[in-house]
Amino acid sequence: MNIQLIMDYLSALNLHNNREWYHANKEAYKEANAEFEELLQMLILEIGKFDSSILHNNPKDLTFKIVRDTRFSHDKSPYNPAFRAHISSQGKLPVPVGYYLMIKPGDQSFLGGGLFADMFKDATRMVRDYIVLHGEEWEAIIHEPEFEKYFMVQGTALKNVPAGYEKEHPQAEFLKYKSWYLEYPLKDEEVTSAQMFPEEAAAIFRIMKPFHDYLNRALAEFTMPAR
């Protein structure tokens, strides 16, 4: 596995972010993508040591396209110079929540987890309702010393506690959230350590797992909207 090849390709794409260069270097993309899928396979095996629910996944099914939807963006660059994947028991779907990886040169890579998809109102409501009923467990998870060493819960949030929820609830600040997620930033040299990266990334993901389990219990009845 050659992670440096991935980084070199993405760096070049960032410098030449146009369709002509992309198509002229399609073989380089295929080589970098193959390395990324090999990395994902190793990561699946490492995560599988503590979360067997993800072992059935095929790396090809977990990745996201690098082509950008520029219709509503001021940035008209056609490609996102990053390789991204989400690993969960249901593949790359946002629910159930799982383990997110983005590799992007320039110290922009990160490991992520939690619920990013705040466009799903039912999912947001389910998590809020679950926090209302299981607030002490929530606090125990997010204030566990090892968790606090690496993470702080992030997410888009309302200014006020939404209607239907107590303003004085002990977890009122988290009831304002529409999404609840974690990010662990990575420097380029951490990513390019091919021998150690899958194992070290899995160690970070393992610390996330109680947070994931909590959210997935909250989202047990959630169904993805039909497209």
169-211: pLDDT as tens digits: 999 999 999 999 999 999 999 998 767 899 999 999 999 999 9
For residue 112, give the nearest of 61, 172, 155 by alpha carbon: 155
pTM, to two decimals = 0.93
Kindly give the interhelix angle for 135-142 and 197-218, rounded to the nearest 10 degrees: 170
Instruction: Decide if 43 contacts 101 (C-beta within 8 A).
Output: yes
pLDDT for position 75: 80
- pLDDT 10s digit of each residue in the chain, 227 long? 789 999 999 999 999 999 999 999 999 999 999 999 999 999 999 999 999 999 999 999 999 999 988 777 778 889 999 999 999 999 999 999 999 999 999 999 999 999 987 789 999 999 999 999 999 999 999 999 999 999 999 999 999 999 999 999 999 999 999 999 999 999 999 998 767 899 999 999 999 999 999 999 999 999 988 77
Domain ranges of the chain: 3-218
Cα separations in angstroms, 81 against 13, 65, 190, 192: 6, 10, 18, 16
Angle at 197 between CA 193 and CA 15, to 5 degrees: 60
Strand partners for 115? 180
